[in-house]
């Protein structure tokens, strides 16, 4: 059955047919209708998130949780979501994840005209550009498959003209894609620097595989016609070229990043003159010029505003008509090139219109051609040699003993992660020194994407795998990070009916960067007194009914609170509070080991405290490093650890 659909509804239909389970978005023209349409499918959990960043984080959590997911936003929304996007490119996905970027050439309802294909290139993820509603649906379905095949998010880029134009779409049935298993993989989903370095190499390997795929995929196809003129184009520009220049050969790119170098080289060499027609930035043109290939693009085609068939006829069409007038649509030529057609001798009137003379072009930059020439010139210079390594006189890193990253002695976060590991919970983590809760021996963190992402990821895991799984999921975030970008995630949990639990690790400072103040410390950067944000009141103001405050050093209280809140219905918050150990200059009494009671079980080492070690099958506490937090004595099964001075050793 065929139906007339706008691109946004075709996208929703394609996502539904592809088996999407979770979709999130923040409304923004021209993308808004996507989530509205998906919300009408009962098989899909669809939500409005407080912003695009949270929407993408929810989709990330769902994909990691094994459900195909989608996040939709307008082009400027990707700016808001760029933080998780850049790291998502590193982690990859479990189930397929599609990011829809609806760009707005012509600024019909936007504050700028940015070209988001550059985001795909920046993140090194595939970018698909459909040219009508049928392609929107088909590419949406393919995007999920590509995402899973290459373990990457996929950007599907629409423009306003595609998103809001009707064309016929062949409808299909929904494919029920089974929920993939959730497997804890901190090396893949917790982007500590050590893991991130490894994943960056994976991204590079994936880019090369995608580039090879781009050479053979039917997404990129050549439509041969007259070879005196050829056009490389994509998206809606393809439709304009087909209408304005029906006689030229066309290389239509559906996958615009990475693009097919060999296919492009072969095409350019096979036509006498090659043009690049694309809206907004010379995204394709610059890359083609960097290959050293002679193409004409932004010298003729406007760099601002929407294109149209008439603009293509007036710009590229004028140049083509000078050589082969029969390749240009006669009806459009009569309007776009009246002087040439009236003279009956196109060659005699072959003056090419300046870009700013094209209809609908309000303003045209003058540096485009120069910039393109610079790119072409640079491409012929070859790569510069890498600078030689500098001799510093310091020993090489390989000569130094290994020092695994660990939390500081007395860190108040240690006990919380110890309990989380003990309870076997799934932990969506965040950015801060507490991210070290992912490292041995604690190993209590499952994901870490970016600042403030823990809540959205936890929400996505819950929506992917259901309320029972949600009782095993907690999000953890520091006080500073919560105020940075965690509040919107908590609002999303409340607004969209989460049963999740958030633990705010409140140590009263921005510890990781050197104890800077934040709105919750009561002081400004100049150390002037300031209003102190109250985390408990903020949580309640955001709609959380269940809020507990516990002492991070009291393991029994921490465990009790976590058990209660993960079992409770509705969203809840636990504020685990203790000042950063490095802020307390007055050292508590250190702990010692009663050798007569030490069982040699090594259980105390599970805390990962640098002050604890083993010697001759017994625990030893370094009195210099011991901070006196007392966590070790709370978990020692032999009651062998006590405060120094309490009684004789």
The Cα–Cα gap between 343 and 326 comes to 15
Pairing of strands 226-234, 69-74: unpaired
- pLDDT of the residue at 343: 62
Task: Compute the half-sphere exposure of residue 110: CA atoms within 13 Å on the CB side of its CA.
Answer: 24
- pLDDT of the residue at 578: 95
What are the backbone dihedrals phi and psi of residue 593, each rounded to the nearest 5 degrees, phi first?
Answer: -105, 125
- pLDDT of the residue at 645: 79
Residues flagged as binding site for [4Fe-4S] cluster: 598, 601, 604, 609, 626, 629, 632, 636
Confidence band (pLDDT; 50, 70, 90) for 355?
very low
Residues 24, 35 contacting (CB under 8 angstroms):
yes
Residues 617, 605 contacting (CB under 8 angstroms):
no
The Cα–Cα gap between 237 and 400 comes to 57
Residues 245, 312 contacting (CB under 8 angstroms):
yes
Residues 327, 247 contacting (CB under 8 angstroms):
yes
CA dihedral 350, 355, 357, 363 (to 10 degrees): -170
Average pLDDT over residues 566-571: 96
Q: Which of 402-416, 533-547, 602-616 has the lowest mean pLDDT?
A: 402-416
Helix (H) or strand (E) holding 103: strand 97-103
- pLDDT of the residue at 646: 73
The Cα–Cα gap between 60 and 96 comes to 10
CA dihedral 521, 526, 528, 529 (to 10 degrees): -10
Helix (H) or strand (E) holding 81: helix 75-91
Longest dimension (CA), the chain: 112
- pLDDT of the residue at 404: 75
Q: How many CB atoms lie within 10 A of CB 162?
A: 27
Residues 14, 175 contacting (CB under 8 angstroms):
no
What are the backbone dihedrals phi and psi of residue 99, each rounded to the nearest 5 degrees, phi first?
Answer: -105, 120
Residues flagged as binding site: 598, 601, 604, 609, 626, 629, 632, 636
Q: Among 647, 599, 643, 648, which Cα is nearest to 621's?
A: 643
Task: Compute the half-sphere exposure of residue 470: CA atoms within 13 Å on the CB side of its CA.
Answer: 26
Pairing of strands 473-478, 426-429: parallel
Q: What does pTM read for this prediction?
A: 0.91
Interacting residues of 269 by C-beta distance below 8 A, sequence separation 6+: none
The Cα–Cα gap between 413 and 401 comes to 26
Span 248-265, pLDDT tens digits: 999 999 999 999 999 999
Beta strands of 179-304 (E only): which ranges?
220-223, 226-234, 248-253, 255-257, 273-277
Q: Among 25, 60, 57, which Cα is nearest to 39's?
A: 25
Concatenated DSSP letters for 557-582?
A: HHHHHHHHHHHSSS-EEEEEE---TT
Residues 327, 228 contacting (CB under 8 angstroms):
yes
Judged on CB neighbours under 10 Å (0-12, 13-18, 19+), 554 is middle
- pLDDT of the residue at 155: 98
pLDDT over threshold 70, residue 602: yes
Average pLDDT over residues 568-585: 93
- pLDDT of the residue at 648: 52
Helices of type H across 424-496: 453-465, 467-470, 479-481, 487-495
Confidence band (pLDDT; 50, 70, 90) for 353?
very low
The Cα–Cα gap between 58 and 495 comes to 13
Confidence band (pLDDT; 50, 70, 90) for 618?
very high
Distances 239 to 200, 235, 259 between C-alpha atoms, Å: 37, 8, 20
Interacting residues of 393 by C-beta distance below 8 A, sequence separation 6+: none
Confidence band (pLDDT; 50, 70, 90) for 344?
low
Average pLDDT over residues 198-217: 98
Q: Among 458, 497, 499, which Cα is nearest to 477's?
A: 458
Average pLDDT over residues 164-169: 97
Q: Torsion-angle region of residue 94: left (phi > 0), alpha (psi -120 to 50) or beta?
A: alpha
The Cα–Cα gap between 576 and 331 comes to 72
Average pLDDT over residues 331-339: 90
Span 1-17, pLDDT tens digits: 999 999 999 999 999 99
Average pLDDT, the chain: 91
Confidence band (pLDDT; 50, 70, 90) for 513?
very high
- pLDDT of the residue at 647: 61
Residues 130, 178 contacting (CB under 8 angstroms):
no
Angle ∠(393,398,400) on CA atoms, nearest 5: 80
Share of the chain above pLDDT 70, in %: 90
Q: Which of 136-150, 158-172, 512-526, 579-593 has the lowest mean pLDDT?
A: 579-593
Confidence band (pLDDT; 50, 70, 90) for 398?
low
pLDDT over threshold 70, residue 325: yes
Share of the chain above pLDDT 90, in %: 86
pLDDT over threshold 70, residue 64: yes
Confidence band (pLDDT; 50, 70, 90) for 241?
very high
Residues 486, 544 contacting (CB under 8 angstroms):
no
Q: Which sign, positive or negative, has the C-alpha torsion 361, 362, 366, 371? A: negative
Span 401-449, pLDDT tens digits: 777 788 999 999 999 999 999 999 999 999 999 999 999 999 999 999 9
Q: Which sign, positive or negative, has the C-alpha torsion 359, 361, 365, 368? A: negative
The Cα–Cα gap between 6 and 169 comes to 9
pLDDT over threshold 50, residue 103: yes
What are the backbone dihedrals phi and psi of residue 612, each rounded to the nearest 5 degrees, phi first?
Answer: -100, 135
Task: Compute the half-sphere exposure of residue 619: CA atoms within 13 Å on the CB side of its CA.
Answer: 32
Domains of the chain as residue ranges with CATH: 2-178 (3.40.50.970), 220-334 (3.40.50.920), 412-577 (3.40.50.970), 586-648 (3.30.70.20)
Average pLDDT over residues 332-348: 71
């Amino acid at each position: 059955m065929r139906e007339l659909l706008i691109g946004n509804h075709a996208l929703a239909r394609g996502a539904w047919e592809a088996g999407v389970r979770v979709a999130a978005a923040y409304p923004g023209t021209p993308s808004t209708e996507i989530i509205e349409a998906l919300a009408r499918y009962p098989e899909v959990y669809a939500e409005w998130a407080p912003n695009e960043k949270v929407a993408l984080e929810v989709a990330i959590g769902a994909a990691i949780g094994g459900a195909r997911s989608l996040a939709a936003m307008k082009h400027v929304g990707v700016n808001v979501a760029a933080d998780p996007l850049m790291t998502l490119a590193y982690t990859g996905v479990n189930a397929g994840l599609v990011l829809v970027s609806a760009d707005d050439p012509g600024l019909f309802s936007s504050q700028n005209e940015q070209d988001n294909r550059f985001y795909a290139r920046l993140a090194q993820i595939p970018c698909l550009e459909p040219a009508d509603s049928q392609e929107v649906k088909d590419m949406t379905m393919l995007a999920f498959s590509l995402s899973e095949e290459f373990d990457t998010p996929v950007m599907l880029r629409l423009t306003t003209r595609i998103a809001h134009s009707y064309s016929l779409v062949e409808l299909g049935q929904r494919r029920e894609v089974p929920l993939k298993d959730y497997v804890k993989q901190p090396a893949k989903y917790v982007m500590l620097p050590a893991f991130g370095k490894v994943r960056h190499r994976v991204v590079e390997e994936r880019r090369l595989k995608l580039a090879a795929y781009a050479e053979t995929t039917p997404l990129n196809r050549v439509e041969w016609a007259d070879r005196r003129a050829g056009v490389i184009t994509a998206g809606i520009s393809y439709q304009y070229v087909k209408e304005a220049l029906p006689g030229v050969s066309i290389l239509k790119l559906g996958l615009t990043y990475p693009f097919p170098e060999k296919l492009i080289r072969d095409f350019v060499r096979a036509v006498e003159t090659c043009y690049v027609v694309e809206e907004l930035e010379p995204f394709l043109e610059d890359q083609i010029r960097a290959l050293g290939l002679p193409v004409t693009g932004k010298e003729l085609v406007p760099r601002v505003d929407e294109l149209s068939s008439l603009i293509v006829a007036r710009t590229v069409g004028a140049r083509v008509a000078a050589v082969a007038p029969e390749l240009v649509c006669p009806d459009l030529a009569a309007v776009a090139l009246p002087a040439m057609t009236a003279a009956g001798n196109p060659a005699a009137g072959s003056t090419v219109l300046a870009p700013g003379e094209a209809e609908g072009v309000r303003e045209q930059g003058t540096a485009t051609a120069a910039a393109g020439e610079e790119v072409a010139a640079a491409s012929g210079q070859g790569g510069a040699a890498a600078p030689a390594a500098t001799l510093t006189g310091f020993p090489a890193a390989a000569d130094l003993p290994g020092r695994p990253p660990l939390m500081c002695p007395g860190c108040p976060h240690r006990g919380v992660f110890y309990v989380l590991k003990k309870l076997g919970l799934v932990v969506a983590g965040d950015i801060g020194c507490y991210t070290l809760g992912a490292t041995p021996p604690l190993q209590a963190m499952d994901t870490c994407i970016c600042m403030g992402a823990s809540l959205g990821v936890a929400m996505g895991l819950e929506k992917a795998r259901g309320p029972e799984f949600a009782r095993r999921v907690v999000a953890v975030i520091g006080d500073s990070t919560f105020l940075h970008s965690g509040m919107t995630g908590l609002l999303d949990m409340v607004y969209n009916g989460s049963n999740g639990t958030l633990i705010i690790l409140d140590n009263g400072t921005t510890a990781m960067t050197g104890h800077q103040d934040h709105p919750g410390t009561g002081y400004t950067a100049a150390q002037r007194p300031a209003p102190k944000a109250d985390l408990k009141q903020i949580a309640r103001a955001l709609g959380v009914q269940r809020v507990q405050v516990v002492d991070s050093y009291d393991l029994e209280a921490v465990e009790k609170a976590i058990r209660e809140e993960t079992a409770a219905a509705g969203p809840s918050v636990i504020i685990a509070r203790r000042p950063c150990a490095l802020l307390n200059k007055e050292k508590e009494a250190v702990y010692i080991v009663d050798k007569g009671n030490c069982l040699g079980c090594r259980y105390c080492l599970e805390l990962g405290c640098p002050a604890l070690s083993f010697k001759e099958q017994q625990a030893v506490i370094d009195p210099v490093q011991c901070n006196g937090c007392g966590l070790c004595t709370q978990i020692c099964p032999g009651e062998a650890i006590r405060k120094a001075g309490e009684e004789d050793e």
